[in-house]
Amino acid sequence: MSSSRRNSVEDAEHHTHNLVDGVAHLKNKAKEKTKKLLDATGPPAPDGYESDDNADDIFSDAAFDPAKIQQASAPRSRSSTRGSISDGVKDLKHIIAHPRRVIRNKATRVTADKLGNTNHPTLTLEQDQELLDAHDGLARATSNASSATDVDKANSEVDDAHARVQKLEQQRESLQTAWVLSRHVSRVKVVQPIPRPDRSQFEVLTEDGQKRLQWERYIGHLLLYYTQGFTAPYIDDFDSPPFDLEDLARLVERIAITSAPWQAFFVDIRNVYMWTDPKRTARWLALYSVLWYTQHLVGYLYFYIIYSTIRNRFRPSSVQTIRESVARSIDRGSRAHAWGELIQRHGKADWLEPLLDELGPMIQLQLGDLANLLEVLINFHRWERPRMTNATLFLFACCLLTSLLTDMAFCMKVVTLVAGGAFFFSYPIATRWPKYRIVLSPFRWIFWDIPTHAELAIQQLQEKALVRNADLADFEVPHPQDISDEDSIVQEQEALVDNEKRSADSRLFKVYDKQYGRGWLVVSRTGIAVQTMERQTRSWPFSELLEMRKIDDVDVDSMLKNLKHVQSRSATVLQFEFMSGDTEADKTLTVLLQPADRDRVFNLVLAWSGVRWQALMLERHNTRNDNKSDRSNLQRAIKRAIY
Quote the CA–CA distance of 296 and 400 in Å, as a whole number.
9
Quote the CA–CA distance of 501 and 540 in Å, as a whole number.
14
Query: Are the C-beta atoms of 537 and 497 separated by less than 8 Å?
Result: yes
* Amino acid 94: pLDDT: 55
In a domain, residue 594? The reply is: yes
In a domain, residue 471? The reply is: no
> 443 and 515, same structural domain?
no
Residue 96 burial class via C-beta count within 10 angstroms: exposed 0-12, middle 13-18, buried 19 and up? exposed
> 489 and 439, same structural domain?
no
In a domain, residue 59? The reply is: no
Quote the CA–CA distance of 291 and 297 in Å, as a whole number.
5
Maximum average pLDDT range among 5-9, 167-171, 214-218, 418-422: 214-218
> 564 and 435, same structural domain?
no
Mean pLDDT calculated for residue range 125-154: 79
Quote the CA–CA distance of 266 and 468 in Å, as a whole number.
42
Q: What is the 3-state secondary structure (H, E, C) of 570-625?
A: CCEEEEEEECCCCCCHHHEEEEEECHHHHHHHHHHHHHHHCCCEEECCCCCCCHHH
Between the alpha carbon of residue 296 and those of residues 174, 290, 299, 400, 459, the distances in Å are 43, 8, 5, 9, 40
Query: Are the C-beta atoms of 451 and 385 separated by less than 8 Å?
Result: yes
Quote the CA–CA distance of 306 and 121 in Å, as a whole number.
32
Quote the CA–CA distance of 108 and 94 in Å, as a whole number.
19
Mean pLDDT calculated for residue range 56-77: 64
> 359 and 290, same structural domain?
yes
In a domain, residue 77? The reply is: no
* Amino acid 274: pLDDT: 82
Mean pLDDT calculated for residue range 565-586: 72
Last residue of a domain, one of 434, 451, 468: 451
Residue 104 burial class via C-beta count within 10 angstroms: exposed 0-12, middle 13-18, buried 19 and up? exposed
In a domain, residue 98? The reply is: no
Query: Are the C-beta atoms of 520 and 45 separated by less than 8 Å?
Result: yes
**Rg for the chain, CA atoms, rounded:** 29
> 622 and 551, same structural domain?
yes
State the pairing for strand pair 211-213/187-190: unpaired
pLDDT band with cut points at 50, 70 and 90 for residue 295:
confident
> 427 and 283, same structural domain?
yes
Phi, psi of 408 (to 5 degrees): -65, -30
DSSP string over 464-514: HHHHTT--GGGG-PPPGGG--SHHHHHHHHHHHHHHHHH-SS-EEEEEEET
Q: What is the 3-state secondary structure (H, E, C) of 622-637?
A: CHHHHCCCCCCHHHHH
> 433 and 548, same structural domain?
no
Which residue segment(s) compose the domain that 540 sits in?
A: 481-642
Last residue of a domain, one of 451, 469, 499: 451
pLDDT digits (tens, 9 = 90+) for 142-167: 888 777 777 788 888 888 888 888 88
* Amino acid 31: pLDDT: 56
* Amino acid 553: pLDDT: 56
User: Exposed e or buried b for every residue in 2-14, given b needs 16+ CB within 10 A?
Assistant: eeeeeeeeeebbe
In a domain, residue 521? The reply is: yes
Phi/psi zone of residue 458: left (φ > 0), alpha (ψ -120 to 50 degrees), beta? alpha
> 502 and 386, same structural domain?
no
> 502 and 391, same structural domain?
no
Query: Are the C-beta atoms of 454 and 184 separated by less than 8 Å?
Result: yes
**Domain containing 604 — which CATH number?**
2.30.29.30
Q: Lowest-pLDDT range, 337-341, 386-390, 476-480, 574-578? A: 476-480
Q: In 3-state terms, the chain is what percent helix, strand and coil (to 5)?
A: 65, 10, 25
Residue, of 517 and 483, whose pLDDT is higher? 517
In a domain, residue 222? The reply is: no
Last residue of a domain, one of 159, 184, 209: 184
Phi, psi of 507 (to 5 degrees): -120, 140
pLDDT digits (tens, 9 = 90+) for 423-451: 888 888 887 788 888 998 888 999 999 99
Cα–Cα nearest to 180, from 412, 472, 379: 379
Query: Are the C-beta atoms of 407 and 296 separated by less than 8 Å?
Result: no
Q: Which residues contact 133 (CB under 8 A, 6 or more apart)?
A: none
- Residue 46, pLDDT > 70, answer no
Maximum average pLDDT range among 29-33, 88-92, 347-351, 578-582: 578-582
pLDDT over 90, % of the chain:
13
Mean pLDDT calculated for residue range 4-28: 53
DSSP string over 516-581: TEEEEEEE-SSEEEEEETT--EEEEEGGGEEEEEEE----HHHHHHHHHHTS-TT-EEEEEEES--
> 154 and 290, same structural domain?
no
pLDDT digits (tens, 9 = 90+) for 452-471: 999 999 998 988 888 875 44
> 492 and 392, same structural domain?
no
> 354 and 497, same structural domain?
no
Mean pLDDT calculated for residue range 511-531: 87
- Residue 341, pLDDT > 50, answer no
* Amino acid 551: pLDDT: 84
pLDDT band with cut points at 50, 70 and 90 for residue 624:
very low
Residue 184 burial class via C-beta count within 10 angstroms: exposed 0-12, middle 13-18, buried 19 and up? buried
Q: Which residues pair with 539 in a beta bridge?
A: 529
In a domain, residue 200? The reply is: no
In whole numbers, what is the pLDDT of the chain averaged over residues? 73
- Residue 387, pLDDT > 90, answer yes
Q: Into how many domains does the chain fold?
A: 3
**Which ranges of 151-296 does DSSP label H, i.e. alpha helix?**
151-184, 215-226, 228-231, 245-258, 260-273, 278-294
* Amino acid 272: pLDDT: 85
- Residue 344, pLDDT > 70, answer no
Quote the CA–CA distance of 127 and 310 in Å, as a whole number.
28
Mean pLDDT calculated for residue range 98-126: 55
Residue positions counted in the chain: 643
